[in-house]
Amino acid sequence: MKRRAPRRNPKPLPILSVKEGPFSMLLARRGHSKPVLYLSLDDRRGDDTLLRMDTKTPPKFVTYCRVSTDEQGRSGLGMEAQEAACTNAAAAAGGQVLRTFREVASGDDDKRPELAAAIRYARRSGAVLLVAKLDRLSRAVALIASMMRQGVPFRVAELANASELELHLRAVVAQEERRAIGERTKAALAAAKARGTKLGSARRGHWSGREDRRLAGAAKGSKVAAAKRQAAVADLLAEAGPVVAAMAGSSLRAIGAALESAGIATARGASSWTATGVSRLVAQLDRI
């Protein structure tokens, strides 16, 4: 039977002490283990009390807050609630908020400059993108899935412990529910309209006391419509120009038939060309 070797006393732990008044920072290392930082409190009686200190770097967060309407953005109520939720979540995680990005945009719009800027800033600073609720980030599963696929780290304040799988499933369910709500709303509005109920701005007294907003909205709508028409005309001229040039000297009806054969629609989207429409098109091309 083998005799057990006598137990040796463990080697003393090498200590590096940096004195600073009644406090001393002690760095201990045993073998290949990671260094452990201690705070030594001198109790003035010759004894030290060693307290282990957490040297882990606190997490960094970049918060993104979004509301859907200008009125919500001006009131600040929705933004303040989201910022408070994000701040509390960051504090609960022991982290710090580096920067907050705010945006007024629809959740169905994936082209949001502030969201893109928040993602870029989070990547540069090695931070986590933090939102109050999942729908503040996006209402589309595709965008959330794309962020996960690209490795963009994000966290939801109200779902602090949720995994990526749970967030993905919640996004799928939320998108389907929004689709169902939209269909029910459209059906209800169609039924009300069929009964003769006036909807939206057609309701009596809807613009009472808000005439300036109605006029501003009408002017904005006119500008947007004019810009769309100009863009459509520019695209038409670029597409139809070579066909008209190739038919130089032909009748208007012949040019119209050539445009129809090439699958070029009018500026209003009609598939057939009249002689009057061709004449206006030729005149516009001549002015270029």
CA distance 218 to 235: 26
In this prediction, residue 253 carries a pLDDT of 92
Q: Is pLDDT of 106 > 70?
A: yes
Q: Report which of residues 209 and 243 the model is more confident about.
A: 243
* pLDDT value for 242: 92
- pLDDT bin (cut points 50, 70, 90) of residue 9 is low
Closest CA to 166 of 150, 148, 181: 148
Higher pLDDT, 131 or 57: 131
Rounded to two decimals, what is the model's pTM? 0.50
Q: What is the pLDDT of residues 57-73, one digit of tens each?
A: 889 999 999 998 776 66
Cβ atoms of 122 and 95 closer than 8 Å: no
Q: Is the pLDDT of residue 98 over 90?
A: yes
- What are the domain boundaries of the chain? 15-53, 60-172, 222-287
Q: Can you tell me the distance from the alpha carbon of 116 to that of 135, in angstroms, rounded to the nearest whole number?
A: 16
Q: Which two tokens stand for residue 8?
A: 């040796």
- CATH number of this structure's domain 60-172: 3.40.50.1390
214 backbone dihedrals φ, ψ, rounded to 5°: -65, -45
Span between the terminal Cα atoms of the chain, in Å: 107
User: Distance (Å, rounded) from C-alpha 153 to C-alpha 141?
Assistant: 16
Q: Cβ–Cβ contacts within 10 Å for residue 85, how many? A: 20
Q: What is the pLDDT of residues 233-263, one digit of tens each?
A: 888 899 999 999 999 889 999 999 999 998 8
Q: How confident is the model at residue 231 (pLDDT cuts 50, 70, 90)?
A: confident
Structure tokens at 207: 């613009």
Alpha-carbon distance 130 to 59, whole Å? 11
Whole-angstrom distance, CA of residue 57 vs CA of residue 71: 40
In which residue are the tokens 């003035």 written? 44
135-184 tens-digit pLDDT: 888 877 888 888 888 888 899 999 888 887 888 888 888 888 878 888 99
Mean pLDDT of 8-18: 47
If one compares 45 and 85, the residue with the highest pLDDT of the two is 85
